[in-house]
Chain A
Amino acid sequence: MNSAEEVKALPVEKDVAATRGPSMISTIWILFMKDLTLEWRTRARMSALIFFALATLLMFSFAVGPDTKLMQKAAGGFLWLGILLASTLSLGESFRVESENGALDGIRLAPADARAVFLAKAGGNTLMLLLLSVVLLPPMFALYDVSIARPVQLAVEKKVEVTAPAPEVPLVHPGDAFDAPKEARFKANPTRNATAGEVFANLGNLLLVLLMGCLAISAPGTIYAAIANNARARDVLLPVLLFPLLVPALLSAVKSTNLVLQGDPMNQLPSWLSLLAAFNLIYWVLGFLLFPRVIED
């Protein structure tokens, strides 16, 4: 199929005929599909990103060493660092393709609303990162020995019942508790296997966290990628601008991921997710308002 046919296949020509140009929604859709089409034709960017992020995850597990407990605790952090590092490549690339041959100028002359360009680009970047993070999940489970089907701790009353009898030999030193026989410690924390419903709930929570985290990276990331793309030293500039900004988002995403993977006895997940939601709200609104000034000439 040659490129002329491809262009015809896009719903552009119908809207161009109209006098006022395409509406905001259809502009977003057209631009979004254009990015997906470009992506699908090469498929190189996505596979490169996946291999990059996989290599990062592997490197993290080498950096921590074979300590399973440590890796389980750090799994969420490693996952998000992998996504974050890959995101700088993906965001930078998403505007590099536009600056080649002045494609962005063409889009603006089309005429496309700059705010629609922002929403389409940021949406495309979100989708890209979301796909990446979903692909990264199974390797993460395997490499760091975490699972969404973790055993569930039994009710507290039972635990008290088991631990209630006082030890016959008084403990000389608080540290002696750790020297107690293994069986005693396991008895103190009885567990059962998770039900299917719990596993699905965990999976749903995890996907929600991934979606919100990717949204949080994409909104400021798209603005900064557009800025850095035209500056000198753009490869350095994007992380320098973006990383400090993303600290709250990264923090809450990592915390939420760990809560899903390691259990959430205090029910802290909603508060971290609302922090992430507030972050998203602020930066998507700011991006929507400010992006037109970034790509104006």
Chain B
Amino acid sequence: MRKIVDTALPLVAVVMLLVATYLGLFWAPAERDMGNVQRIMYAHVPSVWMALLAMVANFVCSVRRLMDQRSMLIAGIGLGVATVIAGVISKFAIADPVNAGKALSYCIVFGILIALSAFIGSRIKTENAADAMAEASAEVGLAFGINGVLLGSIWARPTWGVWWDWDPRLTSAAILIVAYSGYLALRKFVDDTDKRAVWSAVVAIISFVDVPIIYFSVRWWRSLHQIQSTPQTVDPAMAFVLRFSAFAFLAWLVLFLIHRYRIARTTIDLETTVPDAAPAAAVPAAKPVDARGLWILQGVTTIAWLALLFMGPVARMMGTETAGEVGSGRITGGWGYVIAAYASTFLMFVLYSDSLFFRRRAQLHHKAIPS
């Protein structure tokens, strides 16, 4: 398992990313009104999805850190069942059949998701594991979230005419980024392992309130941002590319989570088992496989770097890297925005992989044993 994770996953991730980039840039059809600029969607939407997914993981791990396995399972399943029952009640309480059906299906889906995530969370055996995973998912989710917002901003410029607008979804996304930055800052500012874990879990649960608001903001308020599309409302080719991109991003998310988790877990285990000096004996067991996995990650990252370098020439080759025009109803050109968006995504992946690589290597070589 560990070998698969360390060798196959990075390769799969980079191949999928390159294929997804090809599909998004060349294979998918241009959108009727937005033209090529719409291709930003294939990186923007999966990026935000992964951010929200990571924040859900962070929430589940934080709850697990505060509750024991058994009570978390019971509470989660109870809450899930209660959500479904609430859906059934509202089905009969709401007069409008369309809204009633919507409420029921939402409640069933969310009830199942709540129970499922509680089940997964309750499988986390130790408190240290929950805490390390919470730290990992918050940081990785923040990286994806910042990338998603950046891409949204790049997309907003040609389509809305502004880089930023204080509409509900953008505001709640900005709150997410600042709130989880605060969460990570808190983790840096508390030295005691146990207190850090509990307090940051409390902060994580409070910050998580923002995540459903982000998801539903476009439905609750009249927003500039469009509401969620469904496969029925878009071209099948677009839906396919979006799904493929989402899986490519998921592979990177899992990859990042695993590597970030190892860094956090080693740190926390060292703090809890060996309080003073950290002897070499605590780490080497993981060393050989870990190191190979890291080098493969680094090799893969190099491929991503190369892809990044070639993006400019590719854009020039197409000869249409003019800025988009707004107000005509149909945006022509706009490849500059698309390339900028994809380049930003690649850059995030590359820089974050590098950061993980150097942090883990320093940890394995005892150059940065945390206090």
Q: Which residues of A contact B (CB under 8 A)?
A: 220, 223-224, 227, 230-233, 237, 240-241, 243-245, 247-248, 251, 282-283, 286, 290, 293-294, 296
Q: Which of B142-150, B178-186, B336-344 faces chain A?
A: B178-186
Given contacts A230-B195, A293-B66, A296-B198, contact A245 B206 (CB under 8 A): yes
Give chain A residues whose Cβ lies under 8 Å from the Cβ of B165: none
List 30 A-B residue pairs with CB atoms under 8 Å apart, sorted by A's residue number: A223-B202, A224-B203, A227-B186, A227-B199, A230-B190, A230-B195, A231-B186, A231-B190, A231-B199, A232-B189, A232-B190, A233-B189, A237-B182, A237-B185, A241-B179, A241-B182, A244-B175, A245-B179, A245-B206, A245-B207, A248-B175, A248-B213, A286-B206, A290-B66, A290-B202, A290-B205, A293-B201, A293-B202, A294-B198, A294-B202
Query: How far is A232 from B188 in the complex, measured between Cα atoms in Å?
Result: 9
Whether B205 lies near A286 (C-beta < 8 A) is: yes
Kindly list chain A residues whose C-beta atoms are within 8 Å of the C-beta of B205: 286, 290
B-side contacts of A240, CB under 8 Å? 181-182, 185
Binding site for A on B (CB under 8 A): 66, 171, 175, 178-179, 181-183, 185-186, 189-191, 195, 198-199, 201-203, 205-207, 209, 213
Q: Which residues of B contact A293 (CB under 8 A)?
A: 66, 198, 201-202
B182 touches A247 (CB 8 A): no
For A230, list chain B residues within 8 Å (CB).
Answer: 190, 195
Nearest residue, chain A, Cβ from B176: A244
Identify which of A233, A243, A283 contacts B206 (C-beta below 8 A): A283
Task: Please measure, in the bound complex, the distance between the C-alpha atom of A294 and the C-alpha atom of B66, giving whole angstroms.
Answer: 10
B190 proximity list for chain A (CB < 8 A): 230-232
In whole Å, how far is A287's beta carbon from the nearest beta carbon of chain B? 8
In the complex, chain B residues whose CB is within 8 Å of the CB of A232: 189-191
Dominant secondary structure at the B interface? helix
Q: Which residue of the partner chain B has the closest CB to A220?
A: B206
Alpha-carbon distance between A248 and B203 when the two chains are bound, in angstroms = 17
Instruction: Give the number of residue pairs across the A-B interface with Cβ within 8 Å.
Output: 63
* Neighbouring B residues of A283 by C-beta, 8 Å: 206, 209
- Asked if A241 and B203 make an inter-chain contact with CB atoms under 8 angstroms apart, the answer reads yes
Nearest-Cβ distance from residue B174 to partner chain A, whole angstroms: 8
Which of B66, B178, B191 has a CB less than 8 Å from the CB of A244? B178
With A and B bound together, what is the CA distance between A71 and B206 in angstroms? 34
Contacts of B189 in A (CB 8 A): 231-233, 237
In the A-B complex, the 6 residue pairs with the smallest Cβ-Cβ separation, listed nearest first, are: A244-B178, A231-B189, A244-B179, A241-B182, A240-B182, A227-B199
Q: Are the C-beta atoms of A244 and B182 separated by less than 8 Å?
A: yes
User: How far does the alpha carbon of A290 sit from the alpha carbon of B207 in the complex, in Å?
Assistant: 13
Give the complex CA separation of A223 and B186 in angstroms: 13
Q: Across the interface, do A286 and B171 meet the contact criterion of CB distance under 8 Å?
A: no
Instruction: Name the residue of chain B whose CB is nearest to the CB of A247.
Output: B175
Q: Which residues of A contact B202 (CB under 8 A)?
A: 223, 227, 290, 293-294
A237 touches B209 (CB 8 A): no
Additional pairs, 9, CB under 8 Å, beyond known A241-B182, A293-B66: A231-B189, A233-B189, A240-B181, A240-B182, A243-B178, A247-B171, A251-B171, A286-B209, A293-B198
Task: Return the contact of B186 from the options A241, A245, A248, A296 (Cβ within 8 A).
Answer: A241
The residue on B at minimum CB distance from A242 is B182
Q: Which residues from B are CB-within-8-Å of A243?
A: 178
Cα A290 to Cα B200 in complex, Å, equals: 12
Which A-chain residue is minimally distant from B179 (CB atoms)? A244
A283, A290, A296 — most chain B CB neighbours (10 Å): A290
Max chain B C-beta neighbours (<10 A), residue from A241, A247, A251: A241
Residue of A nearest to B190 (CB): A231
- Chain A hits for B179, CB < 8 A: 241, 244-245
Q: How far is the CB of A219 from chain B (nearest CB, A)?
A: 10
The residues of A that contact B201 with a CB separation of less than 8 Å are 293
Chain B residues whose CB sits within 8 angstroms of the CB of A241 once the complex forms:
179, 182-183, 185-186, 203
Which of B195, B201, B203, B206 lies at the interface centre, i.e. has the most chain A CB atoms within 10 A of its CB?
A: B206
CB distance from A177 to the nearest CB of B (A): 25
| Chain A residue at smallest Cβ distance from B171 | A247
Determine how close the nearest CB of chain A comes to the CB of B176; give it in whole angstroms.
8
Is B206 a contact of A223 with CB atoms below 8 Å? yes
* Min distance, Cβ A56 to any Cβ of chain B, angstroms: 22
A290:B185 contact, CB within 8 angstroms: no
Contact residues in B for A223 (Cβ distance below 8 Å)? 202, 206
Chain B residues in 8 Å Cβ range of A220: 206
Collect the chain B residues with CB atoms within 8 Å of residue A233's CB. 189
Contact in complex: B199, A294 (CB < 8 Å): yes
Cα distance, A223 to B213, chains bound together (Å): 21
By a CB distance below 8 angstroms, the chain B residues around A247 are 171, 175
Whether B171 and A282, one on each chain, are in contact in the complex, defined by CB atoms closer than 8 angstroms, is no
- Docked pose: A212 CA to B183 CA in angstroms: 26
Min distance, Cβ B163 to any Cβ of chain A, angstroms: 19
Q: Cα distance A252–B208 when bound, in Å? A: 20
Q: Which B residues lie within 8 Å of A248 (CB)?
A: 175, 213
A227 and B203 contact, CB distance less than 8 A: yes
Question: Which residue from chain B places its CB closest to the CB of A282 in the assembled complex?
Answer: B209
Give the shortest distance, in Å, between A174 (CB) and chain B (any CB): 19
Give the CA-CA distance A243 to B175 in the complex, in Å.
Answer: 9
Q: Select from chain B the residue with minimum beta-carbon distance to A286.
A: B206
Q: Which partner residue on chain A sits nearest B208 by CB separation?
A: A286
A9 CA / B201 CA spacing, docked (Å): 40
Q: When chains A and B are docked, how far (Å) is the Cα of A241 from the Cα of B175?
A: 11
